[in-house]
Structure 1
Amino acid sequence: MVEAPVLQLQLVTLDRKLPLRDQIYQLIRTLVIIGQLRPRQPVNEVEIADQLGVSRTPVREAVKRLSDEGLINVYAKAGTFVADISGSELEEAYIIRKALELESCRRAAEVTTKADTKRLDDIIAAHQTAIHRKRYAEAIRLDDQFHRAIAEINGLSMLWRAVDISKAQMDRGRYLSIPQPGWGEVTIVQHRAIARALGAHDAEAAIEAMGQHLDTSLQNTLSLVDSH
């Protein structure tokens, strides 16, 4: 059994005016995605509740939600553990994400304004700076911001939410893959191609560029997961 990490959750401040289960869900989800909670690591609901100063109920609800997303495995007698990063689940997440994001691109190409293009360019510039400075967590956040911005051009906030949930397994792999030399720069080039096509209202080019980008992301992630 993998030794449980010291999470230092007592340093986290929860907003008691907001649903605790949602905040705890997001907290544990982030720890799993960034790798602070590693595959096969035990998840101690009692310890988490004690450190956060809450009852076990919102922690249990958060863990159930993460179990439904495939990030945590709950075994009746053995305990609760972080799920492995599965190649088949990565590919399934990719299928879902690609279908949604290609449709997002198609719709965005019809309505992208100059202000939208500038916003995308600004995100790309900040992303490039983060990669150059080796701020990988920030780079991943800005990568997501770019894709979310495309959905927001369409006013499709639920679409991005569906993508965000489905891509959780891919995100875990991204925290392994982002430090690889040259991969971040490839992402920047691909994002520029997407933004350029959207600004030109060229739906076909935008869809092709997004498809190539997501294909590259999947292959990079699979290669890192296999190596680990």
Structure 2
Amino acid sequence: MDFDPTTLNRALPLRDQIYHKIRNMIAVGRLKPGDPINEVAIAEALGISRTPVREAVKRISDEGLIKVLAQTGTYVAPISRADLEEAYVIRRALEMESARRAAPKFTASACEALEDNIAAHRLAISRGKYARAIQLDDVFHRTIAETSGFPMIWKAVDISKAQMDRGRYLAIPKPGYGEQTIKQHEAILDALKRQDAEGAALAMEHHLETSLHNTIEVAGELADKVAAAANESE
């Protein structure tokens, strides 16, 4: 694991920085299912005590991204269908309501922000900059939550969507998946422009259902590859 001590801001809480660092490494696939999480090694690499590392790992474990096995060790959790579906159920409820409440409050400035976002997202996909595309995807959804007048919705979504994020980084390079996301964002935006609350909510639901389907598909393909590799090594 690549932990550079120069990336830490010693004036800010270390546990929060380590939490975001490890969580992001899991989400983008730099830490893969089954990879060990060695708290002592991380602490030594960063030149800090083990306490903030332990606190960060506990927080990530509570989100289901890390499994702590008694007398065995701490490992990155597998991507399971049940976890993906749970994350989807939570996200669907929150984001449909977010879109519904944003519609009557949708302003010209919010419209411009989402149009610019979609244009940048399209460019990122065309250039194969998938990490950037996912960042822009998150900004699109966060902007809608902020427009709704309930910005805490996005904070709740951000915590619950970690499992789906892992699948998104696997799915987005597949041909057509990125373009599909952009078209669905445009459909959400069109409904918001019309201040069609139910139309925006339904467009959001369709978008998230598609994301779940794509994520489950690629997660299944990954599981099949892992199983095949395990059989070959026996």
- Could you say what the CA RMSD is over the residues aligned between the two structures, in angstroms? 0.9
Residue 28, structure 1, aligned to residue 27, structure 2: no
**CA distance, structure 2, for counterparts of residue 207 and residue 195 of structure 1:** 11
1:62 matched to which residue of 2? 56
Matched residue SS, 1:9? coil
**CA distance, structure 2, for counterparts of residue 190 and residue 15 of structure 1:** 38
**CA distance, structure 2, for counterparts of residue 153 and residue 10 of structure 1:** 37
Aligned residues: 222
Q: Gapped runs of 5+ residues in structure 2?
A: 223-234
Tell me the CA shift for residue 32 of structure 1.
0.5
Per the normalisation by structure 2, the TM-score is 0.93
Matching of residues 162-201 of structure 1 within 5 Å: 162-201=156-195
Runs of 4+ in 1 over 6 A off after TM superposition: none
Tell me the CA shift for residue 8 of structure 1.
2.4
Matching of residues 76-91 of structure 1 within 5 Å: 76-91=70-85
**CA distance, structure 2, for counterparts of residue 37 and residue 8 of structure 1:** 10
Residue 126, structure 1, aligned to residue 150, structure 2: no
**CA distance, structure 1, for counterparts of residue 144 and residue 94 of structure 2:** 11
**CA distance, structure 1, for counterparts of residue 87 and residue 109 of structure 2:** 31
Tell me the CA shift for residue 11 of structure 1.
5.5
Partners of 2:99 and 2:144 within 8 A in 1: yes
Correspondence for 2:3 among 6, 9, 18: 9
Residue 217, structure 1, aligned to residue 217, structure 2: no
**CA distance, structure 2, for counterparts of residue 11 and residue 130 of structure 1:** 30
1:46 matched to which residue of 2? 40
**CA distance, structure 1, for counterparts of residue 212 and residue 44 of structure 2:** 38
1:151 matched to which residue of 2? 145
**CA distance, structure 1, for counterparts of residue 110 and residue 188 of structure 2:** 12
1:139 matched to which residue of 2? 133
**CA distance, structure 2, for counterparts of residue 187 and residue 211 of structure 1:** 13
**CA distance, structure 2, for counterparts of residue 39 and residue 130 of structure 1:** 27
**CA distance, structure 2, for counterparts of residue 187 and residue 11 of structure 1:** 36
Matched residue SS, 2:75? strand
**CA distance, structure 2, for counterparts of residue 82 and residue 155 of structure 1:** 36
Matched residue SS, 2:11? coil
Tell me the CA shift for residue 185 of structure 1.
0.5
Tell me the CA shift for residue 110 of structure 1.
1.1
1:205 matched to which residue of 2? 199
Q: 1:166 is matched by which residue type in structure 2?
A: S
Q: Gapped runs of 5+ residues in structure 1?
A: 1-6
1:3 matched to which residue of 2? none
Per the normalisation by structure 1, the TM-score is 0.95
Percent identity reads 60
Tell me the CA shift for residue 164 of structure 1.
0.7
Matched residue SS, 2:71? coil
2:90 matched to which residue of 1? 96
Residue 72, structure 1, aligned to residue 84, structure 2: no
**CA distance, structure 2, for counterparts of residue 13 and residue 220 of structure 1:** 34
**CA distance, structure 2, for counterparts of residue 156 and residue 58 of structure 1:** 31
**CA distance, structure 1, for counterparts of residue 216 and residue 159 of structure 2:** 19
